[in-house]
Amino acid sequence: MITKDEIVRPDDVSLLLFLTLLNFVNYVDRNLIGSFANWIVPELDLSNTEFALISGVLFIFVYAIGGVLMGTIADRVNRMKFIAFGVAIWSFLTAVSGAARGFYSLAIPRMLVGVGESVLAPSALSTIGDRFPNEWQGFAVGVFGMAVPLGLGGSLFIVAYLEPLFGWRGCFYLMGLFGLVLALIAYFVRETPRTNKNHSSDLHISVPVIVATIFTLLKGSKVLSLTLAGSMIFGLLIGATVFDQLWFVQERGFDRNEIAGITAWLAIAGGLVGNFFGGLGGDLFMRKTGLGRPFFLALVMLCLAPLILAYRLVDPNSIWFLTGIFAIFFQMACFYAPVFATIQEIVPSNQRGLIFGFIVLMIQVAGVAIGITSGGILIDWFSHQGYSGPYTIVLVIYTCISFFAIPIFALAGWYFRDEHLKSKR
Protein backbone atom coordinates (compact mmCIF):
# COMPACT_ATOMS: atom_id res chain seq x y z
CA MET A 1 0.00 0.00 0.00
CA ILE A 2 1.33 3.45 -0.97
CA THR A 3 1.17 6.02 1.81
CA LYS A 4 0.77 9.76 1.40
CA ASP A 5 4.47 10.28 2.17
CA GLU A 6 5.47 7.99 -0.72
CA ILE A 7 3.53 9.95 -3.38
CA VAL A 8 5.42 12.34 -5.68
CA ARG A 9 3.22 15.35 -6.43
CA PRO A 10 3.40 17.77 -9.41
CA ASP A 11 4.62 20.52 -7.05
CA ASP A 12 7.53 18.28 -6.02
CA VAL A 13 8.51 17.78 -9.65
CA SER A 14 8.21 21.53 -10.37
CA LEU A 15 10.51 22.38 -7.48
CA LEU A 16 13.00 19.71 -8.56
CA LEU A 17 13.09 21.11 -12.09
CA PHE A 18 13.59 24.67 -10.81
CA LEU A 19 16.44 23.57 -8.53
CA THR A 20 17.93 21.69 -11.49
CA LEU A 21 17.74 24.86 -13.60
CA LEU A 22 19.63 26.76 -10.87
CA ASN A 23 22.21 23.98 -10.75
CA PHE A 24 22.49 24.11 -14.54
CA VAL A 25 23.24 27.85 -14.44
CA ASN A 26 25.64 27.17 -11.57
CA TYR A 27 27.66 24.72 -13.68
CA VAL A 28 27.49 26.85 -16.82
CA ASP A 29 29.01 29.75 -14.86
CA ARG A 30 31.55 27.48 -13.21
CA ASN A 31 32.71 25.99 -16.52
CA LEU A 32 32.88 29.21 -18.51
CA ILE A 33 36.54 29.68 -17.61
CA GLY A 34 37.52 26.23 -18.85
CA SER A 35 35.30 26.39 -21.93
CA PHE A 36 36.75 29.77 -22.92
CA ALA A 37 40.33 28.65 -22.17
CA ASN A 38 41.40 29.10 -25.80
CA TRP A 39 40.36 32.78 -25.58
CA ILE A 40 41.19 33.68 -21.98
CA VAL A 41 44.65 32.08 -21.74
CA PRO A 42 46.18 33.93 -24.74
CA GLU A 43 44.33 37.24 -24.22
CA LEU A 44 45.30 37.51 -20.53
CA ASP A 45 48.72 35.90 -21.19
CA LEU A 46 48.25 33.14 -18.60
CA SER A 47 50.51 30.11 -18.11
CA ASN A 48 48.95 26.67 -17.62
CA THR A 49 49.78 26.96 -13.92
CA GLU A 50 48.05 30.36 -13.61
CA PHE A 51 45.05 29.05 -15.52
CA ALA A 52 44.94 26.06 -13.18
CA LEU A 53 45.02 28.36 -10.13
CA ILE A 54 42.10 30.43 -11.43
CA SER A 55 39.95 27.48 -12.44
CA GLY A 56 41.23 25.27 -9.63
CA VAL A 57 42.62 26.10 -6.21
CA LEU A 58 41.51 29.73 -5.86
CA PHE A 59 37.90 29.01 -6.79
CA ILE A 60 37.59 25.54 -5.34
CA PHE A 61 39.19 26.30 -1.97
CA VAL A 62 36.67 29.06 -1.24
CA TYR A 63 33.81 27.04 -2.75
CA ALA A 64 34.61 23.89 -0.79
CA ILE A 65 35.38 25.51 2.56
CA GLY A 66 32.25 27.63 2.11
CA GLY A 67 30.26 24.47 1.40
CA VAL A 68 30.71 23.19 4.96
CA LEU A 69 29.75 26.54 6.46
CA MET A 70 26.85 27.06 4.07
CA GLY A 71 25.67 23.49 4.60
CA THR A 72 25.59 24.08 8.35
CA ILE A 73 23.63 27.29 7.86
CA ALA A 74 21.27 25.53 5.42
CA ASP A 75 20.35 23.11 8.22
CA ARG A 76 19.07 26.09 10.23
CA VAL A 77 17.49 28.67 7.88
CA ASN A 78 14.90 29.03 5.10
CA ARG A 79 16.75 27.18 2.35
CA MET A 80 15.07 28.79 -0.67
CA LYS A 81 15.82 32.33 0.48
CA PHE A 82 19.36 31.20 1.27
CA ILE A 83 19.65 29.77 -2.26
CA ALA A 84 18.41 33.08 -3.70
CA PHE A 85 21.18 34.87 -1.82
CA GLY A 86 23.81 32.48 -3.20
CA VAL A 87 22.57 32.74 -6.80
CA ALA A 88 22.63 36.55 -6.63
CA ILE A 89 26.20 36.60 -5.30
CA TRP A 90 27.69 34.24 -7.90
CA SER A 91 25.78 35.86 -10.79
CA PHE A 92 27.01 39.35 -9.95
CA LEU A 93 30.60 38.13 -9.69
CA THR A 94 30.33 36.17 -12.95
CA ALA A 95 29.51 39.45 -14.69
CA VAL A 96 32.46 41.13 -12.94
CA SER A 97 34.75 38.34 -14.21
CA GLY A 98 33.96 39.38 -17.75
CA ALA A 99 35.79 42.69 -17.18
CA ALA A 100 39.11 41.00 -16.24
CA ARG A 101 42.32 42.37 -17.73
CA GLY A 102 44.87 40.03 -16.17
CA PHE A 103 45.51 37.24 -13.69
CA TYR A 104 44.52 39.07 -10.50
CA SER A 105 41.45 40.85 -11.91
CA LEU A 106 40.10 37.45 -12.98
CA ALA A 107 41.31 35.43 -10.00
CA ILE A 108 39.69 37.59 -7.30
CA PRO A 109 36.08 37.58 -8.60
CA ARG A 110 36.33 33.89 -9.60
CA MET A 111 37.50 33.07 -6.10
CA LEU A 112 34.55 34.94 -4.59
CA VAL A 113 32.12 33.25 -6.99
CA GLY A 114 32.80 30.18 -4.87
CA VAL A 115 31.09 31.82 -1.89
CA GLY A 116 27.79 32.10 -3.73
CA GLU A 117 27.96 28.74 -5.50
CA SER A 118 28.74 26.89 -2.25
CA VAL A 119 25.19 27.69 -1.04
CA LEU A 120 23.29 25.76 -3.70
CA ALA A 121 24.34 22.10 -3.44
CA PRO A 122 23.86 21.52 0.32
CA SER A 123 20.67 23.61 0.44
CA ALA A 124 19.09 22.04 -2.65
CA LEU A 125 20.07 18.46 -1.84
CA SER A 126 18.76 18.86 1.69
CA THR A 127 15.48 20.16 0.25
CA ILE A 128 15.23 17.25 -2.20
CA GLY A 129 15.88 14.83 0.65
CA ASP A 130 12.90 16.24 2.56
CA ARG A 131 10.66 16.44 -0.52
CA PHE A 132 11.01 12.96 -2.06
CA PRO A 133 10.48 9.47 -0.57
CA ASN A 134 13.52 7.17 -0.21
CA GLU A 135 12.69 5.00 -3.20
CA TRP A 136 12.77 8.09 -5.44
CA GLN A 137 15.95 9.63 -4.03
CA GLY A 138 18.23 8.21 -6.72
CA PHE A 139 16.01 9.48 -9.50
CA ALA A 140 15.50 12.92 -7.91
CA VAL A 141 19.20 13.41 -7.18
CA GLY A 142 19.98 12.14 -10.69
CA VAL A 143 17.73 14.79 -12.23
CA PHE A 144 19.35 17.49 -10.08
CA GLY A 145 22.80 16.14 -10.95
CA MET A 146 21.92 16.16 -14.64
CA ALA A 147 22.85 19.83 -14.49
CA VAL A 148 26.54 18.94 -14.02
CA PRO A 149 27.29 17.61 -17.52
CA LEU A 150 24.51 19.71 -19.06
CA GLY A 151 26.07 22.80 -17.50
CA LEU A 152 29.42 21.94 -19.08
CA GLY A 153 27.64 21.31 -22.37
CA GLY A 154 25.77 24.59 -21.99
CA SER A 155 29.00 26.52 -21.45
CA LEU A 156 30.40 24.95 -24.63
CA PHE A 157 27.24 25.90 -26.54
CA ILE A 158 27.85 29.47 -25.42
CA VAL A 159 31.41 29.24 -26.74
CA ALA A 160 30.33 27.75 -30.07
CA TYR A 161 27.26 29.88 -30.81
CA LEU A 162 27.22 33.04 -28.66
CA GLU A 163 30.93 33.94 -28.57
CA PRO A 164 30.93 34.89 -32.27
CA LEU A 165 28.06 37.32 -31.51
CA PHE A 166 29.00 38.78 -28.12
CA GLY A 167 32.64 37.84 -27.49
CA TRP A 168 33.72 35.94 -24.39
CA ARG A 169 33.30 38.98 -22.14
CA GLY A 170 29.75 39.61 -23.33
CA CYS A 171 28.86 35.99 -22.56
CA PHE A 172 29.95 36.48 -18.95
CA TYR A 173 27.80 39.61 -18.68
CA LEU A 174 24.73 37.82 -20.11
CA MET A 175 25.07 34.86 -17.73
CA GLY A 176 25.37 37.22 -14.78
CA LEU A 177 22.17 39.04 -15.73
CA PHE A 178 20.24 35.79 -16.26
CA GLY A 179 21.34 34.52 -12.85
CA LEU A 180 20.15 37.66 -11.08
CA VAL A 181 16.67 37.18 -12.58
CA LEU A 182 16.60 33.57 -11.32
CA ALA A 183 17.72 34.70 -7.86
CA LEU A 184 14.72 37.01 -7.66
CA ILE A 185 12.36 34.15 -8.57
CA ALA A 186 14.01 31.78 -6.04
CA TYR A 187 13.46 34.28 -3.24
CA PHE A 188 9.67 33.86 -3.54
CA VAL A 189 9.63 30.03 -3.71
CA ARG A 190 8.08 28.47 -0.61
CA GLU A 191 10.30 26.52 1.77
CA THR A 192 9.87 22.71 2.07
CA PRO A 193 8.97 21.45 5.58
CA ARG A 194 11.77 19.41 7.15
CA THR A 195 11.13 15.75 7.84
CA ASN A 196 13.36 15.72 10.93
CA LYS A 197 11.51 17.04 13.96
CA ASN A 198 14.76 17.86 15.77
CA HIS A 199 15.57 20.63 13.32
CA SER A 200 17.18 23.60 15.03
CA SER A 201 16.88 27.23 13.99
CA ASP A 202 19.79 28.24 16.23
CA LEU A 203 22.31 30.03 14.03
CA HIS A 204 25.14 29.59 16.52
CA ILE A 205 27.77 27.48 14.76
CA SER A 206 30.46 25.69 16.74
CA VAL A 207 33.47 24.45 14.78
CA PRO A 208 34.28 21.71 17.35
CA VAL A 209 30.68 20.47 17.09
CA ILE A 210 30.87 20.45 13.28
CA VAL A 211 34.14 18.49 13.33
CA ALA A 212 32.84 16.06 15.95
CA THR A 213 29.62 15.46 13.97
CA ILE A 214 31.51 14.74 10.75
CA PHE A 215 34.00 12.47 12.52
CA THR A 216 31.21 10.52 14.22
CA LEU A 217 29.33 9.96 10.97
CA LEU A 218 32.44 8.87 9.06
CA LYS A 219 33.61 6.60 11.86
CA GLY A 220 30.19 5.00 12.15
CA SER A 221 29.70 4.30 8.43
CA LYS A 222 32.11 2.41 6.16
CA VAL A 223 29.76 3.19 3.30
CA LEU A 224 30.08 6.94 3.82
CA SER A 225 33.87 6.80 4.27
CA LEU A 226 34.49 4.60 1.23
CA THR A 227 32.07 6.57 -0.95
CA LEU A 228 33.94 9.73 -0.02
CA ALA A 229 37.34 8.14 -0.75
CA GLY A 230 36.26 6.89 -4.18
CA SER A 231 34.72 10.26 -5.00
CA MET A 232 37.94 12.11 -4.17
CA ILE A 233 39.96 9.84 -6.45
CA PHE A 234 37.45 10.24 -9.27
CA GLY A 235 37.57 14.01 -8.63
CA LEU A 236 41.23 14.05 -9.72
CA LEU A 237 40.18 13.10 -13.25
CA ILE A 238 37.31 15.60 -13.23
CA GLY A 239 39.83 18.30 -12.34
CA ALA A 240 42.32 17.33 -15.04
CA THR A 241 39.65 17.45 -17.76
CA VAL A 242 39.54 21.25 -17.43
CA PHE A 243 42.45 21.14 -19.89
CA ASP A 244 40.44 19.22 -22.50
CA GLN A 245 39.62 22.25 -24.64
CA LEU A 246 43.30 23.24 -24.79
CA TRP A 247 44.18 19.60 -25.57
CA PHE A 248 41.66 19.45 -28.41
CA VAL A 249 43.10 22.54 -30.09
CA GLN A 250 46.83 22.28 -29.35
CA GLU A 251 47.40 18.53 -29.67
CA ARG A 252 44.43 17.20 -31.65
CA GLY A 253 44.28 19.98 -34.24
CA PHE A 254 40.66 21.13 -33.88
CA ASP A 255 39.35 24.65 -34.45
CA ARG A 256 38.39 26.10 -31.06
CA ASN A 257 34.78 27.00 -31.98
CA GLU A 258 34.24 23.77 -33.91
CA ILE A 259 35.35 21.46 -31.10
CA ALA A 260 33.36 23.46 -28.56
CA GLY A 261 30.23 22.78 -30.61
CA ILE A 262 31.03 19.07 -31.02
CA THR A 263 31.75 18.52 -27.33
CA ALA A 264 28.66 20.54 -26.37
CA TRP A 265 26.35 18.15 -28.20
CA LEU A 266 28.17 15.09 -26.86
CA ALA A 267 28.11 16.51 -23.32
CA ILE A 268 24.35 17.05 -23.53
CA ALA A 269 23.74 13.55 -24.92
CA GLY A 270 26.14 11.81 -22.55
CA GLY A 271 24.89 13.83 -19.59
CA LEU A 272 21.23 13.08 -20.18
CA VAL A 273 21.73 9.36 -20.76
CA GLY A 274 24.27 9.03 -17.96
CA ASN A 275 22.16 10.79 -15.34
CA PHE A 276 19.04 8.76 -16.02
CA PHE A 277 21.09 5.58 -16.24
CA GLY A 278 22.93 6.36 -12.99
CA GLY A 279 19.79 7.44 -11.14
CA LEU A 280 17.25 4.88 -12.30
CA GLY A 281 19.82 2.13 -12.82
CA GLY A 282 21.29 2.62 -9.36
CA ASP A 283 17.84 2.54 -7.74
CA LEU A 284 16.83 -0.60 -9.65
CA PHE A 285 20.15 -2.32 -8.96
CA MET A 286 19.80 -1.65 -5.22
CA ARG A 287 16.25 -3.03 -5.12
CA LYS A 288 17.16 -6.17 -7.05
CA THR A 289 20.48 -7.02 -5.36
CA GLY A 290 20.39 -5.33 -1.96
CA LEU A 291 23.84 -3.90 -2.73
CA GLY A 292 24.39 -0.16 -2.55
CA ARG A 293 24.35 2.21 -5.50
CA PRO A 294 28.16 2.73 -5.36
CA PHE A 295 28.58 -0.94 -6.41
CA PHE A 296 26.51 -0.16 -9.51
CA LEU A 297 28.76 2.85 -10.19
CA ALA A 298 31.85 0.63 -9.90
CA LEU A 299 30.43 -1.76 -12.54
CA VAL A 300 29.74 1.15 -14.91
CA MET A 301 33.27 2.54 -14.47
CA LEU A 302 34.81 -0.91 -15.00
CA CYS A 303 32.94 -1.35 -18.30
CA LEU A 304 33.92 2.11 -19.55
CA ALA A 305 37.58 2.03 -18.44
CA PRO A 306 39.13 0.60 -21.67
CA LEU A 307 37.22 3.02 -23.90
CA ILE A 308 38.00 6.09 -21.79
CA LEU A 309 41.72 5.26 -21.76
CA ALA A 310 41.86 4.47 -25.50
CA TYR A 311 40.10 7.75 -26.32
CA ARG A 312 43.15 9.71 -25.16
CA LEU A 313 45.40 7.85 -27.61
CA VAL A 314 43.39 7.17 -30.79
CA ASP A 315 43.33 9.21 -34.00
CA PRO A 316 40.99 12.23 -33.51
CA ASN A 317 39.34 11.40 -36.85
CA SER A 318 38.35 7.96 -35.54
CA ILE A 319 34.79 7.20 -34.45
CA TRP A 320 36.33 5.95 -31.20
CA PHE A 321 37.48 9.48 -30.43
CA LEU A 322 33.93 10.88 -30.50
CA THR A 323 32.68 7.79 -28.67
CA GLY A 324 35.28 8.45 -25.98
CA ILE A 325 34.10 12.02 -25.51
CA PHE A 326 30.54 10.72 -25.07
CA ALA A 327 31.77 8.08 -22.60
CA ILE A 328 33.58 10.68 -20.46
CA PHE A 329 30.41 12.74 -20.05
CA PHE A 330 28.29 9.63 -19.56
CA GLN A 331 30.57 8.48 -16.72
CA MET A 332 30.64 11.90 -15.05
CA ALA A 333 26.85 12.00 -15.15
CA CYS A 334 26.53 8.45 -13.82
CA PHE A 335 28.72 9.35 -10.84
CA TYR A 336 26.42 11.95 -9.32
CA ALA A 337 23.22 10.07 -8.46
CA PRO A 338 24.68 6.88 -6.90
CA VAL A 339 27.03 8.89 -4.67
CA PHE A 340 24.66 11.57 -3.40
CA ALA A 341 21.57 9.35 -3.22
CA THR A 342 23.58 6.99 -0.99
CA ILE A 343 24.45 9.89 1.31
CA GLN A 344 20.79 11.00 1.32
CA GLU A 345 19.77 7.57 2.55
CA ILE A 346 22.34 7.01 5.32
CA VAL A 347 22.64 10.50 6.83
CA PRO A 348 19.93 11.93 9.16
CA SER A 349 17.88 14.78 7.69
CA ASN A 350 19.08 17.38 10.19
CA GLN A 351 22.73 16.67 9.30
CA ARG A 352 22.46 16.37 5.52
CA GLY A 353 23.36 19.97 4.75
CA LEU A 354 26.54 19.69 6.81
CA ILE A 355 27.56 16.35 5.31
CA PHE A 356 26.79 17.43 1.74
CA GLY A 357 28.94 20.49 2.35
CA PHE A 358 31.75 18.34 3.74
CA ILE A 359 31.54 15.81 0.89
CA VAL A 360 31.67 18.63 -1.66
CA LEU A 361 34.62 20.13 0.26
CA MET A 362 36.62 16.90 0.10
CA ILE A 363 35.77 16.09 -3.52
CA GLN A 364 36.64 19.61 -4.63
CA VAL A 365 39.76 20.22 -2.52
CA ALA A 366 41.27 16.72 -2.25
CA GLY A 367 40.08 15.72 -5.73
CA VAL A 368 39.23 18.35 -8.32
CA ALA A 369 41.55 21.12 -7.09
CA ILE A 370 44.54 18.80 -6.89
CA GLY A 371 43.71 17.41 -10.33
CA ILE A 372 43.54 20.87 -11.90
CA THR A 373 46.53 22.40 -10.13
CA SER A 374 48.92 19.45 -10.34
CA GLY A 375 47.77 18.87 -13.91
CA GLY A 376 48.69 22.44 -14.89
CA ILE A 377 52.06 22.19 -13.16
CA LEU A 378 52.82 18.85 -14.84
CA ILE A 379 51.80 20.12 -18.28
CA ASP A 380 54.14 23.12 -17.90
CA TRP A 381 56.92 20.82 -16.65
CA PHE A 382 56.58 18.31 -19.51
CA SER A 383 56.50 21.22 -21.97
CA HIS A 384 59.67 22.78 -20.55
CA GLN A 385 61.38 19.38 -20.65
CA GLY A 386 60.61 19.13 -24.35
CA TYR A 387 58.18 16.20 -24.19
CA SER A 388 55.82 15.77 -27.12
CA GLY A 389 52.12 15.90 -26.21
CA PRO A 390 52.26 17.14 -22.61
CA TYR A 391 48.48 17.47 -22.37
CA THR A 392 48.01 13.89 -23.57
CA ILE A 393 50.56 12.53 -21.08
CA VAL A 394 48.93 14.24 -18.12
CA LEU A 395 45.37 13.30 -19.12
CA VAL A 396 46.39 9.64 -19.53
CA ILE A 397 48.03 9.68 -16.08
CA TYR A 398 44.90 10.99 -14.37
CA THR A 399 42.64 8.63 -16.31
CA CYS A 400 44.65 5.68 -14.96
CA ILE A 401 44.57 7.10 -11.42
CA SER A 402 40.76 7.34 -11.57
CA PHE A 403 40.56 3.55 -12.03
CA PHE A 404 41.57 3.10 -8.38
CA ALA A 405 38.11 4.42 -7.46
CA ILE A 406 36.46 1.29 -8.92
CA PRO A 407 37.28 -1.21 -6.13
CA ILE A 408 36.61 1.45 -3.49
CA PHE A 409 33.09 2.11 -4.80
CA ALA A 410 32.53 -1.66 -5.03
CA LEU A 411 33.41 -2.05 -1.34
CA ALA A 412 31.13 0.85 -0.39
CA GLY A 413 28.25 -0.80 -2.22
CA TRP A 414 29.00 -4.16 -0.59
CA TYR A 415 29.00 -2.72 2.95
CA PHE A 416 25.77 -0.83 2.26
CA ARG A 417 23.69 -4.00 2.55
CA ASP A 418 24.95 -4.71 6.09
CA GLU A 419 24.56 -1.11 7.27
CA HIS A 420 21.10 -0.86 5.76
CA LEU A 421 19.96 -4.04 7.52
CA LYS A 422 21.36 -2.84 10.86
CA SER A 423 19.55 0.48 10.55
CA LYS A 424 16.22 -1.35 10.17
CA ARG A 425 16.62 -3.52 13.27
Q: Is residue 242 part of a domain?
A: yes
DSSP letters for 23-78: HHHHHHHHHHHHHTHHHHHHHTT--HHHHHHHHTHHHHHHHHHHHHHHHHHHTTS-
Residue ranges in the chain whose pLDDT is less than 70 = 1-6, 196-207, 349, 353, 420-425
Which of 294, 285, 165, 291 is CA-nearest to residue 229? Answer: 294
Which of 92, 130, 133, 134 is CA-nearest to residue 112? Answer: 92
N-to-C CA span, the chain: 22
Q: Is residue 199 part of a domain?
A: no
- The boundaries of the domain holding residue 40 are 8-191+209-420
Residue type, 338: P
Read off the pTM: 0.77
CATH of the domain at 369: 1.20.1250.20
Q: Is residue 157 part of a domain?
A: yes
Give me the number of domains the chain comprises: 1
The reported pLDDT for the residue numbered 173 is: 96
Contacts of 275 (CB under 8 A, 6+ apart): 142, 143, 145, 146, 149, 333, 334, 336, 337
The reported pLDDT for the residue numbered 6 is: 62
Report the C-alpha gap between 349 and 356 in whole angstroms.
11
The reported pLDDT for the residue numbered 203 is: 47
Q: How distant is the alpha carbon of residue 283 from its chain centre?
A: 20
The reported pLDDT for the residue numbered 3 is: 43
Q: Is residue 104 part of a domain?
A: yes
pLDDT digits (tens, 9 = 90+) for 176-229: 999 999 999 999 999 888 776 455 444 455 667 777 888 888 888 899 999 999
Give counts: helices (H), strands (E), the chain.
Answer: 19, 0
